[in-house]
Amino acid sequence: MMDYELFKEVVTETLLSHMPDELAGYSLRADRTGKVNETLDALHLVPPSCPPDSLYPTVYLNYMYEEYKKSGDLQATLELAAFYLAGACREAERKNSRITPQGATKRIVMSLVNTKQNREMLGYMPHREFEDLSIIYKYVIDTRNPVESVPVTVEMAENIGMSEEELFHAAVENTRRLFPPKAELLSDIIVELFMDGGFSEEAAQEMGRTIQLPIYVISNEQNINGAVSMLYGDNIHELAERTGSDLYIMPLSVHEVMAVPSEAAAPEELAKLVEENNMSRIGLADRLSNQVYRYDKERQKLSLATDTPNKRLDGNSPKQDRTDGKKQSR
């Protein structure tokens, strides 16, 4: 079985020969592409005379190699990748046709990623930092299930004619409109889960009563990239008023956070729970932070409550921040 470096070389040289005849004239472009929380070896299938800011069908060699190791069949791996790329070409054409400057102001939304873990990706995406996180932007193509969106790169922002400041103001409004925030009591969620699992209402209510504190799970109606809802100060302040205390915000994933009354536990203890949750239950692409935040009810301000020397989100030891990559658009 080939090692990864040889596999990359062979696939890069031979994948085009497995593409269907109707894609003659297409080329492959190899690079290192940042995805949320990781950077991967990518092969992009590029049509002739394609604008540089267009979406390209992409396969990731890292994932291809894992499939190759399972089967040991290089030919089958290449054919599967070619089949996927051929279908993805049609999807890319459809998405490219729907990304327009005219529609951008109503379709730009925002989500949160970890800044240190995504230095390379952030190098070519407009963004703004908040504590240890960064707000990034996406162009929503379809809000129906499943939600379709594409990240806004520096090139796309230039093409649709929006600065980072304009992206931000549009995203604040659009995100609340397209993905309405919600906050649910953890006790209510537990009751619903037990009843869905076949327990009687009485038994489910009894389990819900085991949660003594008013703990809230914050997300959005679609439960997708809902952690950004913690940035809505009016919503967080309302929860703090309900509980009558400051709040610690625990990032459960990029999709949701948990608001805990400040008397529940020391922030360092909560940070340990967050890290354990990330490393044992949450996939790498969905991890947001190993830290905990505090909402100060009197000052109406959200800020970091911990700065613990936790491992990176990928489990590796902390490394010095990288400062390379394309210049950030501001």
Residue 251 one-letter amino acid: P
Domain coordinates of the chain in residue numbers?
4-98, 101-178, 181-304
The closest of 174, 288, 295, 293 to 234, measured between CA atoms, is 295
- Please determine, for residue 22, whether its predicted confidence score (pLDDT) is greater than 80: yes
So what's the pLDDT on residue 97? 82
CA 151/CA 138 separation, integer angstroms: 4
CB atoms under 10 Å from CB of 326, counted, come to: 13
So what's the pLDDT on residue 25? 85
Q: Higher model confidence: residue 139 or residue 206?
A: 139
Phi, psi of 44 (to 5 degrees): -105, 135
So what's the pLDDT on residue 318? 61
The closest of 327, 255, 258, 246 to 292, measured between CA atoms, is 258
So what's the pLDDT on residue 329? 37
Span 287-301, pLDDT tens digits? 999 999 999 999 999
What predicted TM-score, i.e. pTM, was given to this entire model?
A: 0.87
Contacts for 257 with CB less than 8 Å, ≥ 6 apart: 217, 218, 219, 226, 227, 229, 230, 249, 250, 251, 288
Q: Are 230 and 240 in contact (CB under 8 A)?
A: no
CA 224/CA 217 separation, integer angstroms: 13
